[in-house]
Amino acid sequence: MGSAREWRRLLAWADGLGLALLSMVVACRALDTDGLTPVPQLLAFLPWLLVPAALGLLAALLARWRGGMVWAAVVLALIGWYARPYGPGPGPGGDAEPAGRVVASVRVLTSNIEFGDATADLIATIGREKPGLVFIQECDDDCARALDAEVPDAAYPYREVDAAGGPDGSAILSTYPLRPAPGIDGVLAMPGAVALVHGRPVRIQLVHPLPPIPGSVPRWRAELGAVRDYAAGGKDRPTLIAGDFNASRDHAAFRRILDAGGLRDSAALGGALRTPSWPAGWARVGTQIDHVLVSDDFSVRSARFLTLRHTDHRALLVELKLHSG
């Protein structure tokens, strides 16, 4: 009898520690902050925290801990609440179609090719899908040379390539004329430009901040803040921001980018809400950190995540319509 009581007491203590960690994550989400390690890392997987929260409720039941049952139920309900969509819902055009007639169809591909290792699959995907704009992260020197050799200039005559070793390099390929524009300063290259899409200027920006690993969270937050400032600086102009954000819609820093620029998440609008993009090898269990964000000059027709070999990210292909405004 005593041993059963002791077992329940130990189970309650262990359950309390787990619920305390989950509560810290939920509290940061409620307060619209990303907090400190390990909160930013756990926020990326917020919907999956429903599993340990449910286990916490079960443990409280087994331990006959009434306070823990209430605590776990509240945590479970809050995680479920915050796992709901943020911003416009899925479907063509989201909540409403942009004003004006359609002046162009625009296909956009973004892909993190992991140190250039997925370059061959990326080039094959470009040839097959024929996107008008391609945003490439972690394009090393070998990647840049392969793009020069295997992606014809006639198909993509306009390019912004910032090649470097390891994960530092990035590239933008375009079928549309590009005007030079300042990029965003970061440890990893984040080039920008202005694309003339059927004569209409569109601000385009590649995004690839440092990931929020322990020790790099302040820099991650600062670089996403720079993306937010870029978004806010063009609210009255057509804008398209794409890349590996190293942030999900459950991160406050990501939501501030959407809000500051009046931007919409094309995956959510295109029917791919919460489809994981990283890590690619985890199949359905992961988080969506690869995004294409658009101003309300665009409607979204579809969004698909594509699997490329030799990279831990899935590529994102979106079909957009640019409206005259």
193 & 227 share domain: yes
Q: How confident is the model at residue 165 (pLDDT cuts 50, 70, 90)?
A: confident
Mean pLDDT check: name the lowest of 34-43, 60-69, 78-87, 290-299. Answer: 78-87
pLDDT tens, position by position, 218-229: 999 999 999 999
The residues, ordered by sequence, that sit 6+ positions from 11 with a Cβ below 8 Å of its Cβ are 59, 62, 63
Q: Show the tokens assigned to 170.
A: 């990035």
Domain boundary among 82, 112, 144: 82
The residues, ordered by sequence, that sit 6+ positions from 45 with a Cβ below 8 Å of its Cβ are 286, 287
212 & 270 share domain: yes
Q: What is the pTM of this model?
A: 0.94
Summary mean pLDDT of the chain: 94
117 & 225 share domain: yes
Q: What is the pLDDT of residue 94?
A: 47
Q: What is the pLDDT of residue 92?
A: 43
Q: Which of 301, 321, 112, 94 is nearest to 202 (CA)?
A: 321
Q: Show the tokens assigned to 130.
A: 């024929």
Check pLDDT > 50 for residue 78: yes
The total number of structural domains that make up the chain: 2
Q: Assess contact for 289 and 323: CB atoms under 8 A.
A: no
> Nearest 5°: phi and psi at 115?
60, 25
Give the domain extent around 27: 2-82
**Mean pLDDT throughout 277-298?**
92
**Mean pLDDT throughout 85-98?**
59
